[in-house]
Amino acid sequence: MPNAAKVPTILSAMLKLLHVIPRLSNAGPTRTLLVVVQALAEMGLPIRHRLLVLDGAVHPFVSLRVRKAGITLLKQLEPTAIRAEIESADIVQVHFWNHPKLYEFLRTDWPAMRLLIWFKIFGAHAPQVITTDLVNCADACLVSSAGSLDLPCFQSQHAQDHHPDLKNSHRKRKVNLALSPANLQRLGEIEPQPHDCFNVGYIGTANFTKVHPSYVEMSAAIDIDPVRFIICGGNDQDLVAAVQDLGVCDRFDFRGYVEHIEQVLAILDVFGYPLCADTYATSEQALQEAMYAAVPPVVFPHSGVATLVQDQVTGRVVHSEAEYTQAIEELFHNPSLRKSLGKQARAYAQEHFRPLKTAQIMEQTYDELMSQTKQGYKGLTQPVQTPAEGFVAALGQKGDTFWTSLRGQPSDWQRQDIEAAHVHIAKTKPDQSRKWASSGYTLR
């Protein structure tokens, strides 16, 4: 990557960015937004950031952090006010995951704009799917994981040629990779602290929509004494219940959300991060932080995680429950290997997870978009009549069984597939059920 000062740019005048995000919280997408805005400022780029939040109230602490970053916060705007914001913006940058408010925004007939969609999901698994319809309505796309570049939606002719009047170089640049960097500076220089147990940590959403379904059983089977599994993250009721059912409460330490996570990283020996096979994980800030802290990770090669850890170089990549258990036992019995993997993980994190790298890609993307005139906004093309149809349309090809359920009588095997999907969706993020709870179309 060339030095920022050597990148040709047309961003000499103030660039007016309108960010659009479904919900503002203290989770990964918000934290990435803040760290990238800071990196862009450190590059000296003249950018005005305005942030449109589509859903829900914003916690005062998060609002303060947004305003301290120099971002103007916009919430609960009427459509006429949103239209005015779009008209005055040079680029509209959508921070995307499947959320009903965001799909409502993308289906609206807005004025002409230069639309950039930065996908915060891997995009291969329902309900967090990147569809061709999404790709085609954008002027440029960024993905947060290298693995997402191989998705069918980015390989189709439609995704390449939906603006045939653009130069070949622009069509080729329609999609690019921009990792979602963690704020590693906030961790400081982490020094390992003495502790009595062999500590295996997990940081992040702590339920079975993200964690491997056998996480508790795999952990309980690890033959180390003493060992402690430290879990930091919200929504951990299912994990707590599983630990109680197995009778291994003495091995687990549930700490909920931890703001100063560096204090936990300093006492970890291994970062056990086994995610479920259909995870929509991409750049995984918790994994970045653990690697930066020289805590060797043990992971499964699912979704974005597969491109972040190299087996036996920066951590361990396992393919079965037995391998997961054995890998952690091996790291316990082989301190030199544990130290070597941790050292190389830290070096990798320092090189590849720098916010400046993402900010430089952003500058390049903004530069390319500003070389184009604003296009009339086409929006999403697949027509929907009900909230349920809107949700199923957002699943792309992954929604075929739901279309069968909505429009006809499914066969026995399809019915089983649909029921299994209903169970999965019931345990995913509550955005859909919150939005459509009062309608007659909520999928349960």
What single-letter DSSP state applies at residue 53? Answer: E
Cβ atoms of 96 and 29 closer than 8 Å: no
Tens-digit pLDDT profile for residues 124-147: 998 899 999 999 999 999 999 999
Cα gap 327→183, rounded to integer Å: 29
Tokens for 308? Answer: 């972040």
The β-bridge partners of 72 are: 50
CATH fold of 184-352 reads Rossmann fold (3.40.50)
For 324, the 3-state DSSP assignment is helix
Tens-digit pLDDT profile for residues 234-288: 878 999 999 999 999 999 999 999 999 999 999 999 999 999 999 999 999 999 9
Tokens for 419? Answer: 């029921």
Cβ atoms of 86 and 18 closer than 8 Å: yes
Cβ atoms of 261 and 203 closer than 8 Å: yes
Cα gap 240→254, rounded to integer Å: 8
Query: Strand 297-299 relative to strand 91-96: parallel, antiparallel, unpaired?
Result: unpaired
pLDDT at 357 over 80: yes
Structure confidence at residue 423 as a pLDDT band (50, 70, 90)? low
Cα gap 130→143, rounded to integer Å: 10
For the chain, domain boundaries: 4-181+354-370, 184-352, 387-436
Residue 157, phi then psi, degrees to nearest 5: -65, -35
Q: How far is CA 398 from the centre of its chain?
A: 19
Q: Which has more pLDDT, 379 or 72?
A: 72
CATH fold of 4-181+354-370 reads Rossmann fold (3.40.50)
Tens-digit pLDDT profile for residues 147-164: 999 999 998 534 444 444
